Structure 1
């Protein structure tokens, strides 16, 4: 038997909406979740900031687009490999590095961002866009929402590391136009964000969710809609491993069952290794 898949303490997100129904804002602090991802993936110093950023963005997108369904994002570069982040409706979030050596994944036309999510109809929706060179991942996420979902948004993402390369903060916010938008209200907010820059919002808000909401809304009246909890973790289990092994041919299962040694199978997402008794395959 293996140990259980790791579960980290909960991180928090806050959802709010302007009183006039023009737009909503989601702010999240994903620091503990991102730390769990980096530790499980043993991320090198080059890829760690991008991986933490993508994990944060994936939670933010799930809360905005499909809070009751799974959402997965992939950043893929033809030479530097890819990274995957995966967030589930129960809040469990994980990520995976798929590259031969420690390389950051730069943004630009070569790097594609794909978003995969379940929909209310039970179908899988997939959208793919080129990332934007010279901008942050937040701008590429906003570009995806506009191109693939026809939703006007402003997205800010921020990660901070100390001198030892340890993650000290990972967070993000999303400002999204609503159907009943009052043009003047929205224009005032988006113009201010463009002038001050999304990164300034984190500093003004002291890197706290409530502070970030206040910094975005500023003088616009708003109300808190709810809180969301999420964490690093994995949905792998010994039962799932056994289920996968059950799909092998009878000959392959018999060969494994004949072994006198436990079958060691690891999860690439959480780095947990399962030790399977060969007798269970007979």
Structure 2
């Protein structure tokens, strides 16, 4: 099944909701970066959230970046998404292995304590930057805390990644449910009761639940209305020209030293691992163009 996001409202627009299935996206990331199971789970959760949050943005050129910086062995996770729900990301230390915790992958232990940063570049002079502490390192709880504290939007975020025994991705997905400012107490109480019943997103995904069924479980008794469906995928838009900008930013002195070494250089994209080769002549041209 292709990955996609559903957007919905409930309780006469007192609630807005998003749900996604993202197994292909997460498996693509795992294959690109050769991530360990716990690194795949952490990256897959943040990619899923990034895709849904990207789809919340209005303009075609808007870009969202999520950065998790913890003191755990993963080191950090970076994900970027656009308003078309194209998403890409990587972890700093993809081969981290940790023992299971309560029979589950220990994402919180791999991430550790630190900060979550959300950067929204919406074409204004300065991008919007929101930052909160990591409350658990489990990603979903951290984003729930971010929405409430940085954007003042009471939200519930659920994210899950389940692995096969051969370390490929079995299923992945999640939801974001948000209360509008005019939500009534009765609506809030009913939603809270429904959320208590869903203890594991992964369990529902493994039972074959679609994004529509996920939201049905949470909002079915609150007048759920699916408004639209958006395809989502892991997509890296790197190119030799784009990577050249990164090479140029190294600085003239360093580039001249590389040229002096007399050997071509190879630069790899952080997001997808694609390798780009630059000859001595090309490096000389980069210096010329950056004058």
Bin of the TM-score, shorter chain as denominator length: 0.7 to 0.9
Give the structure, 1 or 2, with the largest relative contact order (CA under 8 Å, sep 6 or more).
Answer: 1
Residue equivalent to 2:119? 116
> TM (normalized to structure 2)?
0.81
Compute the displacement of 1:103 (Å): 4.7
Question: In the aligned structure 2, how far is the partner of 1:152 from the partner of 1:87?
Answer: 22
Residue equivalent to 1:88? 82
Q: List gaps (5 residues or longer) in structure 1.
A: 1-8
- Residues 122 and 63 (structure 1), Cα distance of their counterparts in 2 relative to 1, 3 Å cut: farther
Once the two structures are superposed, what CA deviation does each residue of 1:211-234 show, in whole Å capped at 9, x if it has no partner? 112212222223222222221121
- Residues 122 and 252 (structure 1), Cα distance of their counterparts in 2 relative to 1, 3 Å cut: closer
- Residues 65 and 201 (structure 1), Cα distance of their counterparts in 2 relative to 1, 3 Å cut: farther
Once the two structures are superposed, what CA deviation does each residue of 1:32-57 show, in whole Å capped at 9, x if it has no partner? 11111111111123322112112112
CA contact (8 A) 2:55 2:85 kept: no
The structure whose residues are more often helix, as a share, is 2
Deviates more, 1:138-147 or 1:197-206: 197-206
2:108 partner SS:
coil
Deviates more, 1:206-215 or 1:66-75: 66-75
2:243 aligns with one of 238, 241, 244: 241
- Superposition CA RMSD, Å: 3.0
Is 1:128 matched up with 2:122? no
1:132 partner SS:
coil
CA contact (8 A) 2:118 2:129 kept: yes
Compute the displacement of 1:127 (Å): 2.1
2:37 partner SS:
coil
CA contact (8 A) 1:204 1:211 kept: no
The count of corresponding residues between Structure 1 and Structure 2 is 273
Compute the displacement of 1:14 (Å): 0.6
Question: In the aligned structure 1, how far is the partner of 2:196 from the partner of 2:232?
Answer: 29
